[in-house]
Structure 1
């Protein structure tokens, strides 16, 4: 969520100035601020939900096994950087005509996302964090500027049932917001900050061999009282202030519900059955365990029948023989594991690459009572914001126009306005992955072929672009 701060000309219908602490700041993100691939797909990722990038879109994503996940334990990492509102004239909170009646004062935008995902068979866990920072007003020699920092984190655990065909996830959505005074010639301080958390749940259905997926996620509202510095004051009327700002009673992020579908055309399978290495290796493991149990009983019988004066020597002989047999069995199991791993990799490598992936979703965002946006907080005016449920439809297509070299995507979404008189605006997104070269980081990781990715989001009065790096599959 990033809010535009505009110097607006006075009008007869200007909202009333704030006089009490009886309002909330709504932490709402209208334009899509997300990892690179998710941005290129216009945010319609709820039903695809693969990789650590899917965690913010669907809480069940950590349990989803990707087609190239061949081992019982697997991991995924992601990192990206983008520059939302990188050009002058941006209208982040979609004020429309009111957003164009003055001079934009915010600048120095930065968005960074990091994520880590660990998978153990059907169990998956993930932590992702999105940091946004930008200046609301510039600092001068006499007045400090204002900087807004927001952080959204997801801490999620999920499990895949029925051979990973159904995934269910549960976790926490953690939201932090801070507005600070900063300046070179004047001391800075935190005016207001908020830290809150609420549960989120997600589900994904992807039947083996089917060319479709269905996903859904629900995020409870996050609410927390603001925390100002000790320098906050309370006047005779009981109104709490930080510097010249009347503080809100709380900061909120409304509930969200999203439904999505994914459909893939072409010879490449969308939902290949995931082959669990432990299940594939189970016959060999079970046979070895049974043979060891049988030998143990035989050894006990031999020792019981042996004369007492020969038992110690017999124990030593049996132990040496058993150790040699177990080494052979371990080598057999290792060889079988390697054979099955090579088989799974060959199965993946032999799939055709031709595909057209189509994804769509609808995001519902709940209302907030007595809320304003950050721009209204800075103006200290009670302009209504987020009073009704808003709906954001999303759609995108992904394909591989250059075989095994370039993967491209294009999409669109309709951003609603949270202002009562605002109008929705259309966004066009696009992006691509470009295959680079193998690199094992000087032996620190396995041999990996890397890719560079980029995404662009274009809309009236708004532009966002970003780059990232990851593994090519």
Structure 2
């Protein structure tokens, strides 16, 4: 997804927009008495370095652009919409996933989402992610939605029945993809929308930010080779305040920022299969092979593979994200300081990612692990290393094979534990 770009990336928006509500700790931001109320000209910085996604994506350290499989992964690379599974026998296929992220195993006040070296002082937090895809022959369409809710104190100190800020973010993407040739090259295009809102716990007007953007993704999966290459391109997006008639850009009597900015992100990824049968990594599904024979493809159609043959038990995925710089962006700490506002995110950064998956019990259990470096938008701060992992377990068969997936993401002042339910592929 261009905004989150991937998929995106919901807790970073919550952190930025929720902390905007803490302007009560910034007297310098108040409008002068008698002057008309207006948003501040600076833009809140959306930290794209924070890893958000389905349990499988998180467990692999976010290195999923070069895999691009299933409903759980298409927010990372939209090409997954037209990527037919190797066992697909029908002309159509349906995929679904539901993830619960930020399980309440650690307090929000201990977390540092923006990697500035300070706790965010947030209260309760939850995230839900859902995805649905439909494939027909070489085409695919899909829809994904992520809703995040977090609360912040409206004052410097929170105690008892103190006023709180409830921040909600809903991000969605509607996309389509098509496979060319012999399903070895897939191109995808997506339109996403994001709406953020926050309001006081006591009620009152709800302030909203929102915008849309376009994303272009690709996947190359050559037959007879144990590797794939993926590319995603997400442009810079600025989400402006959506003013309603008669509404003032203030919360608790204090002006807010006029927009949120997400930097452009270019992601390059690759994945490899190892072990017996690794050359079958990109094998044609029975449905795709049948379609090629009916259409009379000019190229030799690959031989049909027997069911249940090994296809490499080890999967390694690597990825690098190039995050562009932005102008006139402010960090979180400016909301809790009376000093001069600091500019952040003005230089480009790299985010390397590496993940590994093993079919420990074929058809029953998969284990995953990963690492990645989260760049900081603050000058002079090093990247923060993360360790990720998780597992996937087959649970039962009803219409389709269902699986339960769990993940964790651990770093200094950061913990994210998630659960997903979806199809076993």
The TM-score with structure 2 as length reference comes to 0.82
Cα drift, residue 352 of structure 1: 1.6
1:127 aligns with 2:119: no
Which aligned pairs between 1:205-220 and structure 2 lie closer than 5 A? Answer: 205-220=220-235
Alignment match of 1:72 (pick from 64, 77, 91): 91
1 CA distance for matches of 2:238 and 2:371?
Answer: 30
CA contact (8 A) 2:122 2:151 kept: yes
Larger radius of gyration: 1
* Alignment-derived partner of residue 291 in structure 2: 279
Residues 1:159 and 2:159 aligned together: no
What residue is the counterpart of 1:33 in the other structure?
52
Distance 1:245-1:193 versus aligned 2 partners, 3 A rule: same
Aligned partner of 1:258 in structure 2 is 267
Correspondence 1:136-151 to 2 at 5 A: 136-137=152-153, 143-151=162-170
User: 1:258 and 1:282 mapped to 2: Cα distance?
Assistant: 36
Output one character per residue of 1:237-288: Cα deviation in whole Å (capped at 9) or x when no partner: xxx544333222322222111000111111232111234265367399xxxx
| Structure 1 residues 130-175: Cα deviation after superposition (integer angstroms, max 9, x where no partner) | 1211112277777531122222222111110011100001111322
Counterpart in the other structure of 2:321: 363
Q: Deviations over 1:26-78 (max 9, x none)?
A: 23343211101101111100010011222211122211112122211111111
Q: Deviations over 1:57-115 (max 9, x none)?
A: 1122211112122211111111110116842311111111xx05xxx531221111111
Q: How many residues are paired up?
A: 384
C-alpha deviation, 1:380, in angstroms? 7.7
Would you say the 8 A contact 1:396–1:412 is kept in 2?
Answer: yes
CA contact (8 A) 2:126 2:148 kept: yes
Give distance in 1, aligned partners of 2:147 and 2:333: 19
Mapped to 2, the partners of 1:274 and 1:82 lie a distance apart of 32
Corresponding position of 1:428: 387
- 2:417 pairs with 1:471: no
In 1, the alpha carbon distance for the partners of 2:331 and 2:253 equals 17
Q: 447, 453, 459: which one pairs with 2:411? A: 459
CA drift at 1:15: 9.8
Between the aligned partners of 1:67 and 1:278, the Cα distance in structure 2 is 13
How far is 1:375 from its partner? Answer: 5.6
- In 2, are the aligned partners of 1:410 and 1:430 still within 8 Å (CA)? yes
Map 1:167-178 to 2 at 5 A.
167-178=186-197
Q: 1:203 aligns to what? A: 218
Distance 1:158 1:86 in 2: 38
- 1:437 and 2:415 are equivalent in the alignment: no
Q: Partners in 2 of 1:17 and 1:388 — Cα distance? A: 27
User: RMSD of aligned C-alpha atoms?
Assistant: 2.8
Whether the 8 Å contact between 1:384 and 1:420 is mirrored in structure 2 is no
Secondary structure of the corresponding residue to residue 87 of structure 1: coil
Q: 1:263 to 1:223 in 2, by over 3 A?
A: same
- Residue 229 of structure 1, CA deviation: 5.8
Checking the alignment, whether the CA contact within 8 Å between 1:46 and 1:259 is kept in structure 2 is yes
**Does the Cα contact within 8 Å between 1:231 and 1:242 map onto a contact in 2?**
no
Does structure 2 retain, via aligned residues, the 8 Å contact 1:62–1:157? yes
SS at match of 1:60: helix
Equivalent in the alignment of 2:300: none
Whether the aligned pair in 2 keeps the contact of 1:38 and 1:45 (CA below 8 Å) is yes
In structure 2, do the counterparts of structure 1 residues 400 and 376 end up closer, same or farther at CA, with 3 Å as the change threshold? Answer: same
* 1:173–1:198 CA contact under 8 A, matched in 2: yes
Q: Distance in 2 between matches of 1:169 and 1:380?
A: 46
Q: Closer, same or farther in 2 for the Cα pair 1:187/1:174, shift >3 Å? A: closer
Q: Distance between the aligned counterparts of 1:39 and 1:144, measured in 2?
A: 34
Distance 2:221 2:314 in 1: 17
Q: Say whether the 8 Å CA contact 2:281–2:312 is kept in structure 1.
A: no
What does residue range 30-429 of structure 1 map to in structure 2 within 5 Å?
A: 30-83=49-102, 86-88=105-107, 89-96=110-117, 99-100=118-119, 105-137=121-153, 143-182=162-201, 186-190=202-206, 192-228=207-243, 232-233=247-248, 241-268=250-277, 269-275=280-286, 276=288, 279=291, 282=294, 347=305, 349-352=307-310, 354-373=312-331, 376-377=334-335, 382-429=341-388
Change (3 A) 1:15 1:387: farther
| Higher helix content, 1 or 2 | 1
Higher strand share: 2
CA distance in 1, matches of 2:295, 2:343: 65
Alpha-carbon offset, residue 354 of structure 1: 4.5
Q: Using the alignment, how far apart are the partners of 1:348 and 1:152 within structure 2?
A: 41
Partner Cα separation in structure 2 for residue 380 and residue 470 of structure 1: 48
